[in-house]
Amino acid sequence: AAKGGGRGQFRFYSDDLQNAANDRREIEEDLRDAIAAETLEMHYQPQVDTQTHQVKGFEALMRWEHPEHGFISPGVFIPIAEDSSLIDDLGTWALRQSCKDAAAWPGELPVSVNVSARQFLNEELPEVVEKALKDSGLAPSRLELEITESVFMGDMSMTETMFASLKKLGVKLSLDDFGTGFSSMSYLSKAPFDKIKIDQSFVRGCAGEAKSNLAIVVAIAGLARALDMTIVAEGVEAMDELEIICRQDIDLVQGFIFSRAIPQDQIMAKLDSGEMQYEPVGPAVQRAE
Ligand code: C2E
Ligand code: MG
Ligand code: MG
Ligand code: MG
């Protein structure tokens, strides 16, 4: 019986794998259609000053409402797109749309756009960025590209050439999810990052039981300060987390405590009415998800 069960389990497992592969293929095909049909959207999540609660910029986050399966998280479909050349089309679209939207925002607020490692290794990226800036009229200094530590794992001379080409365009570079990947301090000091984002896995719970998380947050902030980078704490959800983050040497907070990513029309309505301030969302809606 044990043996039969084992075989059964194996079959069950391989069916699951097959389903997962089919799902991936389906998602990939549907994503290709979505790019063509222009049914993807960019939403924007504010980055808020820890001291004044003023908005200082927004991160562009892709949103996809699948015709049958409903909302699919970019945490699911971006890695699938990265496994194919789809990420190039997707990434180009995200850049162009984000630059266009940001160009309509009043004031000089910057937009941060995620660039995946595969996009970063595509030598056409500087041209794509330059064209997105030119076509939208967005000043290069208002565009920030968010990349992760994974770009340090490839060919370093290519990575350094790309850094130089992008900096030459006048855009800003931001290091996303810091602490989750390679986290090499020597690369951090060599690479021309303007901003560093402390990953939400260290920020979450840093006010409570997770004392080592707070120690990591403080250490990263100290290092980034010494290197003259703007420091962002990602994923702040709760009031106690916000309070402790605001007592550290951290410039900006991005988290559900202030707002999730919202569509362009809502950003415009808020900014046009001169509302530059965010207030923490009350305890009743804390701890979303
Ligand atoms: P990321 O770049 O680290 O983006 C931050 C993610 O954290 C977003 O998830 C955001 O909604 C979420 N977040 C922000 N504050 C909180 C919070 O307080 N609590 C919790 N639980 N989550 C919070 P999202 O939009 O689901 O995106 C997931 C990832 O997908 C992004 O992580 C990024 O790696 C990727 N992604 C999203 N849009 C794009 C895009 O246009 N291009 C590329 N290449 N990647 C993208
Ligand atoms: Mg990001
Ligand atoms: Mg992040
Ligand atoms: Mg991430």
For the segment 224-243, what is each residue's pLDDT rounded down to a tens digit? Answer: 999 999 999 999 999 999 99
CA 147 to ligand 4 centroid distance, Å: 10
pTM greater than the 0.80 cutoff: yes
Digit-coded pLDDT (tens) for 158-205: 999 999 999 999 999 999 999 887 767 777 887 899 999 999 999 988
pLDDT at position 41, please? 97
pLDDT at position 144, please? 98
The CA radius of gyration of the chain, in Å to the nearest whole number, is 20
pLDDT at position 100, please? 98
pLDDT at position 67, please? 86
Ligand 1, closest atom to CA 254? Answer: 15
pLDDT at position 224, please? 94
ipTM topping 0.90: yes
Residue from 114, 202, 256 to probe ligand 1 pocket by mutation (most atoms less than 8 Å from CB): 114
Selection from 86, 99, 75, 88 nearest residue 33 by Cα = 86
pLDDT at position 4, please? 42
Q: Which amino acid is at 170?
A: G
Question: CB within 5 A of ion ligand 3: which residues?
Answer: 176-177, 234
Ligand 1, closest atom to CA 236? Answer: 18
How far is the first Cα of the chain from the last one, in angstroms, to the nearest whole number?
41
pLDDT at position 3, please? 41
Q: Which residue has the least CA distance to atom 3 on ligand 1?
A: 177
Enumerate residues 6+ apart whose C-beta is below 8 A from 129: 95, 143, 145, 166, 169, 171
Written as six digits, the tokens of 75 are: 């945490």
Task: Decide if 45 contacts 259 (C-beta within 8 A).
Answer: yes
Kindly tell me the burial class for residue 218, based on how many C-beta atoms sit within 10 Å of its own C-beta (0-12, 13-18, 19 or more): middle
Enumerate residues 6+ apart whose C-beta is below 8 A from 216: 179, 202
Low-confidence ranges of the chain (pLDDT < 50): 1-11, 284-286, 288-289
Tell which phi-psi region holds residue 271, choosing left (phi > 0), alpha (psi between -120 and 50) or beta. Answer: alpha
